[in-house]
Amino acid sequence: MNIVLMGPPGAGKGTQAKLIAQKWNIPHISTGDMLREAVKSGTELGRRVEEILDKGELVTDEVMKDVVKNRLRKEDTSSGFILDGYPRTRRQASHLDGTLDKLERSLTSVILVNASEQEVVDRISNRRICTDCGAVYNLISLRPKKDMVCDNCGVRLIQRSDDEAETVRMRYRLYMEKTAPIIEHYRRDSKLFIVDGSEPLKTVTTRIFDYLEKT
């Protein structure tokens, strides 16, 4: 099962991607997580992208091409993968086609989790994350058991620097301008499944699982 999960920032795709990865036992490849990890561990890639991530801008297509190519070459993707946050531009979509061709693989499905700008701003400004295990919470819909502390590791939760309202609006506009056009690319292949991300988390999961079970 080779899946691409698309959607505006804050539509809940990261949460859904984790659930899909668990259920089908395939790796969850989040390019955002990979880049944040690189920043945290101070690698050369991390130093190159740190400022871009903070501003909520996009890392160049060429850099992303290598990041994704190297990841998809790893053995654990042989029975499938779920790509979350890639591709984000037309060029990235064509790079991905090329990489998969070389690996003699193709996409099984593309899932789009949709949400409006206002929904996204409301949701992201309530998002808090654990810097230790990466768990994601929402102060309204997915509260931690203890106030502002991670359920898994007891670490204090923080707000990501690119989750502030103004940056979120900018990221949403960037999504509409650069990423939304590639939806057409996948619609033509008839592999696209669209789900309304403003529905409750569990409903969205059920719709996606039902769809994947049929494919």
Beta strands in 22-89 (DSSP E): 28-30, 81-84
| Cα–Cα dist 171/55, whole Å | 9
Does the footprint of ligand AMP cover residue 162 (CB under 6 A)?
Answer: yes
For residue 156, what are the β-bridge partners? 149
Select the span of 50-58, 99-107, 111-119, 190-198 touching ligand AMP (CB under 6 A).
50-58
Among residues 4, 53, 120, 129, which is the contact residue for ligand AMP, using CB under 6 A?
Answer: 53
Catalytic residue among 13, 65, 71, 207: 13
Active-site residue, selected from the candidate residues 71, 123, 128, 171: 171
Q: Of 30, 38, 1, 26, which is closest to residue 13 (Cα–Cα)?
A: 30
Contact pattern for ligand AMP over residues 29 through 48, marking x by CB under 6 A:
--xx--x-------------
Tell the burial category of 114 from Cβ atoms under 10 Å away from its Cβ (0-12, 13-18, 19+): middle
Query: The dihedral of CA 95, 99, 100, 102: what is its sign?
Result: positive
Q: CB under 6 A: which stretch of 49-57, 69-77, 95-103, 137-145 binds ligand AMP?
A: 49-57
The binding site for ligand AMP (CB under 6 A) comprises 9, 31-32, 35, 52-53, 56-59, 64, 85-86, 88, 92, 162, 171
